[in-house]
Amino acid sequence: MNSLSDADDPKRVVERGYDQVAHDYARLKGESEWPRMRWLKSLLSRLGPGSAILDLGCGSGDPADIEIAKEHRVTGVDISQAQIDLARRNVPAGHFIHGDAGSVEFPAASFDAVISTYTLEHIPREEHETILGRIYGWLRPGGTLLISLEAGEVEGVISEWLGVPMYFSCFDPETVKQLVSRVGFEILETRIESQVEQDTEIPYLWLLAQKRYEKHSNPDKHKATIRWLFEDVWSQGNFEHVTRYLAPQFTFHFRGRTFIQAPDDLVPIVST
């Protein structure tokens, strides 16, 4: 491993690297079972159909965005044009942007979920908290985050990977969890899981988190809004949408009476 010199811009190293190895990387996933789809399906089970999902560092879109696009709207961002070209071919219904996760812009509260798998370790770790904070801003309250990155501590190195120079940088798993919490997320589930790549077992930190619902200075007004929201969607008969998308943390029974249990500062609302 070489130390990072001033002449080596990490972003350009990664961009060039993935432009060259996009096809070889795609072949790696055929070697052994990776936990990626299990975690993705866990995230998708929390969403209603037609949700807006962002994939930061989407790669070729195979298999995650192919799965997402079956029921949802997917936007992918990748710094490698070769990966974006593959993603556009693999997921015709997706919207793919050639750009840097550190500078791409989206409107606030425009996604129901954001995923970023095996990508943060290619971005200088000094940027990780800022990027997590930007993701937090792009998510709607209650929105879900899924990330995975190498479970190790790497200050910023360029090493050979799949035959090309590649940049790696990450904090240890405990620090990553602290950063996720510090930007405001509630961590729902996290685990270190190893997978085999080129005959080597590599541990990754997986983390599922949720953007908190906002505290309301005027709870009465907020209760009225929630009641309106539910009754509006309810009247259209889309119960699945109500239960799984609008308020996934709420519990209620639909047998003549409706009991809605709101989180945090909200009291239960009962309507008949």
Ligand X SMILES: C[S@@+](CC[C@H](N)C(=O)[O-])C[C@H]1O[C@@H](n2cnc3c(N)ncnc32)[C@H](O)[C@@H]1O
Residues lying near ligand X in the complex (CB under 6 A) are found at 11, 14, 18, 36, 57-59, 64, 77-80, 83, 100-102, 117-119, 122-123
For ligand X, the closer CB: 36 or 211: 36
Shortest spacing between CB 222 and ligand X, in angstroms = 36
In the complex, least distance from residue 175 CB atom to ligand X, rounded to whole angstroms: 19
**Residue 119 and residue 122: Cα distance in Å, rounded?**
6
In whole angstroms, the minimum distance from the beta carbon of 15 to ligand X comes to: 7
Shortest separation between residue 5's beta carbon and ligand X, angstroms:
19
Of the pair 29, 140, the CB lying nearest ligand X is at: 29
Distance, in Å, from the CA atom of 94 to the CA atom of 131, rounded to the nearest integer, reads 22
Considering the complex, state which of residue 93 and residue 270 has its C-beta at the smaller distance from ligand X: 93
- The distance of closest approach from Cβ of residue 122 to ligand X in the complex, given in angstroms and rounded to an integer, is 4
For ligand X, the closer of residues 51 and 169 by Cβ is: 169
* Among 33, 35, 31, 84, CA closest to 56: 84
Using CB positions, name the residue nearest to ligand X: 59
Our CB check for ligand X shows the closer of 193 and 241 to be: 193
Angle subtended by helix axes 128-138 and 173-182, to nearest 10: 40
| Smallest distance from ligand X to CB 75, Å | 12
26 Cβ contact partners less than 8 Å away, ≥ 6 residues apart = 59, 60, 62, 86
Nearest to 91 by CA among 119, 114, 70: 70
Between 4 and 247, name the residue whose CB sits nearer to ligand X: 4
* CA atoms of 115 and 77, how far apart (whole Å): 11
User: Which C-beta is closer to ligand X: that of 34 or that of 252?
Assistant: 34
Rounded to a whole number of angstroms, the minimum distance from the CB of residue 52 to ligand X is 18
Omega of the bond leading into 63 within 30 degrees of 0 (cis): yes
